[in-house]
Amino acid sequence: MDSKPASIRLVLDGLSALLSPAAILSLAGLWISYRVLIALYNISPFHPLARFPGPKIAATSYLYEAYYDWILVGRYGTVIREMHERYGPIVRINPDELHCSDPLFTDEIYAGPGRIRDKWQHQLNTGGAGPVSVTGFSTVHHELHRMRKGALSRFFSRQQTLKLEGEVLDFAQMTTDKLLRSSGKEPFNIKEAFNCFTADVISQYAFSESMGFVAQEGWEPNFATWVRSFFKSAYMMRHNALGRKIAQVLPMMADYLGEDVKNVMRQMNVVIPGHIKKALNDPDNGRVFADLVQSKLLPESELSMYRLSGEGFNFLLAGTETTAATLTVITFWLLSKPAIYKRLMEDLKGLTPDTLKWTELEQRPYLWAIIHEALRVMPGVSHRSARIAREEDLVYRSQDGKVEWVIPRGTPIGMTSMINHWNTDLFPNPDRFTPERWLVDGQPNYKLQKFLLSFGKGSRSCVGENLGYCELYVMAALMAMRIIPRATLFETTIEHITYDHDMIVLQTKKGSISVRIKID
């Protein structure tokens, strides 16, 4: 008798035995027992974080965090704030992670490049899959991140940003010209105008070619419109391994998915690579990607189109909504508090819209104060971001000496801007928008600035901080000079910019922040 059919029969018999209801039940039972054993270990005295305070339910399994962040959408931040009120400055917020609410410990957690700080894969899972998962931002290991960020940061130095600030002013002028052309027309959300401005600035800066959002008819759609689905799926991705696997094959299925997902895939896999290819083919391009490839700062393996596209997409992802949201908050307060606007105009005396310079604007104390107050209440990332001190235990001592903890090496520990920026010792009456809190004798309080987490801190902080600041100064001043005198708020209250939960970036009760204005 032929041995082949016999072996196939053997395999089929084995498979049907495996798939029998009894076998499936036993496998499920085994899996549940395994999960229960892990949960018991998590709350046992043998777990390295056993002595840290926090609710037992949070330490038992990831289901508690997943419930608040995934099912209720981005609401774990509020739960963490309540844990600190009950248990103190260091709390255990899930089986493996600690959270700190003491701003004085910031530089230990988010240390500079000389001390090893890894990121944590569990949190990076929010990025899903595809090119964006191989960027510097998404790199776990300190050493690999250092190489990746080191190669990029020289393009975003203060020197380099100063060289290109003329382009920022040009786009800001184009944006305000277009805003003025909408006078007498329907009210609109000013955040969309800023989304167009910031996306055009970054694409021009990085590829030497803007994405043309300011020049298009109207303000929507723009890059932020398309990446909304990316933020919406963030927590599902973090807690759902199957979701991440599906995301890996999404590019092939993009045409069969909803418009949003299709568009975000198109940006990541077609539009951004297209800009980068064009830049690489132009010997005189001189911008980030062309220079990066020519300079040989990175080994060949780091320069694949796949990885470069990820970095390009990430620049837009990280630099569009963040800066736009801060500008939106500034616009809201200039329109709703005439006293703030009046004092700002006194501060800007002697400047003309056509020749604004970032370095000059930084010297205006009240503008400086408004920008920092806006960055406080509207930080780039309102979700926590953990770091792992791989090779050193961190020693925490509260200022009054009453609390002391040794955080074991290898433990993810993070902070949340929405908690630090609401610390009442540093920022009394934190719900109020008070630029004056940033001034001492009318001059910038740079010591207070060190407590801002808006751009992150240490080795993993924002690479685009200088460009972000340049955009904020130039656009805020131009808005004050050209648009605010002719604009009014339309059906917008403080609720439209107030934190309720996060989708990595701040969300209000009504969703993304939105400030509708009318220009006369």
Comparison of 89 and 310: residue with beta carbon closer to ligand HEM: 310
| Cα dihedral: 217, 220, 222, 227 (round 10) | -170
Per CB under 6 A, the segment of 235-243, 345-353, 380-388, 484-492 that binds ligand HEM is 380-388
Three-state secondary structure string covering 304-337: CHHHHHHHHHHHHHHHCHHHHHHHHHHHHHHHHC
Residue 137 contacts ligand HEM per CB under 6 A:
yes
User: Burial letters for 132-148: b for 16+ Cβ neighbours within 10 Å, e otherwise?
Assistant: bbbbbbbbeebeebbbb
**Cβ-contact 487, 334 below 8 angstroms:** no
Residue 35, SS3 per DSSP: helix
Instruction: Give the number of residues in contact with ligand HEM, rule: CB under 6 A.
Output: 25
Annotation-wise, does 462 bind a ligand? yes
Instruction: Say which residues have a Cβ less than 8 Å from residue 77's Cβ, sequence separation at least 6.
Output: 382, 383, 384, 416, 418, 419, 501, 502
Question: What residues between 188 and 207 interact with ligand HEM by CB under 6 A?
Answer: 202
Among 129, 272, 463, 505, binds ligand HEM (CB under 6 A): 463
Nearest-angstrom CA–CA distance, 272 and 232: 21
Per CB under 6 A, the segment of 331-339, 363-371, 456-464, 481-489 that binds ligand HEM is 456-464
Q: Using CB under 6 A as the criterion, what x/- string covers residues 397-436 for binding ligand HEM?
A: ----------------------------------------
Nearest-angstrom CA–CA distance, 460 and 106: 13
Element (H, E) at 159: helix 158-163
Residue 329 contacts ligand HEM per CB under 6 A:
no
Three-state secondary structure string covering 214-263: CCCCCCCCCHHHHHHHHHHCHHHHHHCHHHHHHHHHHHHHHHHCCHHHHH
In the bound complex, what is the minimum distance in angstroms from residue 288's beta carbon to ligand HEM?
A: 9
Residue 168 contacts ligand HEM per CB under 6 A:
no
Residue 328 contacts ligand HEM per CB under 6 A:
no
Residue 74 contacts ligand HEM per CB under 6 A:
no
Residue 319 contacts ligand HEM per CB under 6 A:
yes
Nearest-angstrom CA–CA distance, 322 and 378: 8
Among 136, 310, 312, 412, binds ligand HEM (CB under 6 A): 136
Among 64, 455, 473, 499, binds ligand HEM (CB under 6 A): 455
- Nearest to ligand HEM by Cβ — which residue? 464
Nearest-angstrom CA–CA distance, 143 and 459: 11
Residue 454 contacts ligand HEM per CB under 6 A:
yes
Comparison of 42 and 459: residue with beta carbon closer to ligand HEM: 459
In the bound complex, what is the minimum distance in angstroms from residue 348's beta carbon to ligand HEM?
A: 20
Comparison of 315 and 438: residue with beta carbon closer to ligand HEM: 315
Among 89, 103, 131, 468, binds ligand HEM (CB under 6 A): 468
**Cβ-contact 211, 203 below 8 angstroms:** yes
Comparison of 42 and 165: residue with beta carbon closer to ligand HEM: 165
Residue 407, SS3 per DSSP: strand
Query: Residue 397 forms beta bridges with which residues?
Result: 404
Residue 312 contacts ligand HEM per CB under 6 A:
no
Residue ranges of the annotated binding site for heme are: 462
Binding residues (CB under 6 A) for ligand HEM: these are 136-137, 149, 202, 314-315, 318-319, 322-323, 326, 379-381, 385, 454-456, 460-464, 467-468
